[in-house]
Structure formats: C-alpha cells, structure tokens
Amino acid sequence: MEYFNFHTHQFTNQEDVLELVNQYPKDFDASIAFYSIGIHPWYIDENRLNEDLKIIEEKLQTENCLAIGECGLDKRIEIPLELQISIFEKQLELAEKFKKPVVIHCVAAFQEVTAIKKKMKISVPMIIHGFSKNKQLAEQLIKDGFYLSFGKYLLKNPDLKTVFKDIPNDQFFLETDTMEEKIEQVYEIASEYKGLSLKELKDIISSNYRIVFEL
C-alpha cells in the first residue's frame, strides 16, 4: 500500500491505493475489495431498517469489511434527530460487538456525537470524515479521542492549513470522498502543509492504518 484513501464513494481499483469504499446495505457490491458499510443519516428508511442492520451485521464479520459507516448525525436534514440517534447507536453497538472502527458523518452535531461516544463507552476508533471546521473544535475532538480525516476541504479551503498542520500525526487520515481529484493530490498538499516529505507522510498514515484497522 503506497496510499490509503480513508473514505471514497468511487472504486478505482488502483494497484498502489488501498481504498476504503463506502457501501450502503441495499446497493451492496461484492466486487469491491475493501469497504465500510453503514446507514447514512440521509438515507434512513424505517421500512427496511431491520433488513439493513442485518446486512451490516453479516458484512462486518467478513475480512473485506474494514469499518462500519459512514453513519452519524446531521442536523441540517429533515429526518428527526431522535431517529438518527437511535440508528447511529444501533450501529455503534455493532461496531463494538465486531470490533470495527466507525466512519462518522457529522453535520452540526459534534456535541451529540461526543456525548453518545461517552455514554456508550465506545472503545473502537471513531473517525470524523471530511473534517472542515476550526482549530478549537479539532482540538476538542482530538482530546475526546476521535481521529479526523481530511479531503476536499484541504484542497479547496486554504484556511484549513492552520488547523491541519497542528493535528497530531497519530490521529489523522486522508480521503477523497465524492470528489474527482485523486488521493495522490490530497497527499501532496497534506505533506506540504505538514512540512513532511511524501515518504514521511505515507509512513505516518500506514502506521495509523495499522493501529486503527488491524485491531
């Protein structure tokens, strides 16, 4: 593995990139090498909730399923927060049961996600994907034991440089999510912001990968 793409919706199957491809239970694609699977708050369907959770539980027991998610909370959508919390907690129970890390989607609900982590005493790694917020929030999340993953906002928002460069080297990942740019471009800007060589950055992320995913 030269590069690790922590979260992507596009399976490109490059030889030197390990991609953690986001999958949804109802659209599961068995041809994808490594993936996470979960119920995204945007796509909660109460009519198939039990079926989706059953599929997730089944897949979490396979080697190719590296994580659960993306799942989490989003206060900017119509789906009631209470329902989102209930489904998020059910997925966290599965993460604990099968000792899998969690890819988290969080919009305007960081306090709630942190409170749930503490209440449920979650021991598996929890990674906030697509982080784009300020230094104060980043420091608080790190203190509360979260990992942060950076992607498109690192490329598109220069203000994120000051946040990213101070993230501890053992608590971050890089991703492409839904954007067209390649993970190599994210690594390039990340190494520049961190003042590291590309090789040093690759070594750091490989080490983080081993700690988080080879539980």
**pLDDT at 215 > cutoff 90:** no
**pLDDT at 116 > cutoff 90:** yes
Annotated binding site for a divalent metal cation: 70, 105, 129, 177
What is the number of domains present in the chain? 1
> CA 161, CA 51: separation in Å to the nearest integer?
42
**pLDDT at 171 > cutoff 90:** yes
Annotated binding site: 70, 105, 129, 177
pLDDT tier at 1, thresholds 50, 70, 90:
confident
11-51, pLDDT tens digit by residue? 999 999 999 999 999 999 999 999 999 999 999 999 999 99
Query: Who has greater pLDDT, 158 or 1?
Result: 158
Whole-model pTM: value is 0.97
Residue ranges making up the domain that contains 150: 3-213
Tell me the average pLDDT across 142-156. Answer: 97
**pLDDT at 214 > cutoff 90:** no
CA 69 centroid distance within chain: 7
CATH number, domain with residue 53:
3.20.20.140
46-75, pLDDT tens digit by residue? 999 999 999 999 999 999 999 999 999 999
Give me the percent of the chain exceeding a pLDDT of 90: 99
For tokens 């409170």, the residue is 115
